[in-house]
Chains A and B, each alone.
Chain A
Amino acid sequence: ETGVTQTPRHLVMGMTNKKSLKCEQHLGHNAMYWYKQSAKKPLELMFVYNFKEQTENNSVPSRFSPECPNSSHLFLHLHTLQPEDSALYLCASSQGRTDGYTFGSGTRLTVV
């Protein structure tokens, strides 16, 4: 257990479905992130939240919609995804610039 909990661990969804990924941290960190990890590609930063405010949106398609209701919870709402969106989605949190990130175990998403 890392202190960052992601649910579900695995998700299979059709292209017309709507689903949400959840991330929770109780480390007292003030920043939370969504990353996409695909095979043979660098980790792709998707969204950054600092103190619940979205500070970065890394040109992510609108079919991915983040939500950060408080500094401990982060969601990623998914709708009308494409098969190429299949990947491991990682949530991370951090306290400050000089701190490292604490990662969750990820959600393995398969779009069929």
Chain B
Amino acid sequence: AQSVSQHNHHVILSEAASLELGCNYSYGGTVNLFWYVQYPGQHLQLLLKYFSGDPLVKGIKGFEAEFIKSKFSFNLRKPSVQWSDTAEYFCAVNAGASGGSYIPTFGRGTSLIVHP
């Protein structure tokens, strides 16, 4: 079965600092990769996704992520964070399952706190 590992459980940064959140997955076949964000008191929402093509994908609010197949990684980056980026960030993988369906698997999440 596939799994998703997010290495940083808690990250604390000052505004304007650069951000990189690690995500590794274990699955040998074709995968689709996602990052979701959950702002305090709000629902989970899609930040960006990768399914084919350019391994560097850009999402909303200045976030980007790079798919490195050889490393089974999909790290999230932002060059300069803002206080409003304080949230929980989840990496997720869609991998194949029986009958043509697919199983979405989420990482544990990384809590990001940005100090003004």
Most chain B CB atoms below 10 A, which of A35, A56, A102, A104: A56
**CB atoms of A100 and B43 under 8 A apart:** no
**CB atoms of A98 and B32 under 8 A apart:** yes
Residue B63 lies at the interface, judged by CB distance under 8 Å to chain A: no
Residue A110 lies at the interface, judged by CB distance under 8 Å to chain B: no
**CB atoms of B109 and A42 under 8 A apart:** yes
Residue B70 lies at the interface, judged by CB distance under 8 Å to chain A: no
In the complex, identify which listed stretch (B18-26, B77-85, B100-108) lies at the interface while the others stay far away.
B100-108
Give A2 to B44 CA distance when docked, in angstroms. Answer: 10
Contacts of B42 in A (CB 8 A): 105
Residue A55 lies at the interface, judged by CB distance under 8 Å to chain B: yes
Given contacts A55-B97, A98-B32, whether A104 and B104 have CB atoms under 8 Å apart is no
Give A94 to B32 CA distance when docked, in angstroms. Answer: 13
Q: How close is B100's CB to chain A, nearest CB, in angstroms?
A: 9
**CB atoms of A42 and B97 under 8 A apart:** no
Contacts of A100 in B (CB 8 A): 34, 36, 46, 49
The dominant DSSP class at the B interface is strand
Residue from the list B43, B49, B108 in contact with A106, Cβ < 8 A: B43
B residues 41-67 near A (Cβ < 8 Å) are 42-46, 49, 51-52
B residues 68-116 near A (Cβ < 8 Å) are 90, 92, 94, 97, 99, 101-109
Q: Mark B30-44, 1 if CB is under 8 A from A, else 0.
A: 001010100000111
In the complex, identify which listed stretch (A10-18, A20-28, A43-51, A74-82) lies at the interface while the others stay far away.
A43-51
Which chain B residue has the least Cβ–Cβ distance from A6?
A: B43
Q: How close is B86's CB to chain A, nearest CB, in angstroms?
A: 17
CB-defined A-B contacts under 8 Å, sample of 14 = A35-B106, A42-B106, A43-B109, A48-B101, A48-B103, A55-B97, A94-B104, A97-B51, A100-B34, A101-B36, A101-B104, A103-B43, A103-B45, A105-B43
Residues of A within 8 A of B (CB): 2, 31, 33, 35, 41-43, 45, 48, 50, 55-56, 90, 92, 94, 97-106
Residues of B within 8 A of A (CB): 4, 32, 34, 36, 42-46, 49, 51-52, 90, 92, 94, 97, 99, 101-109
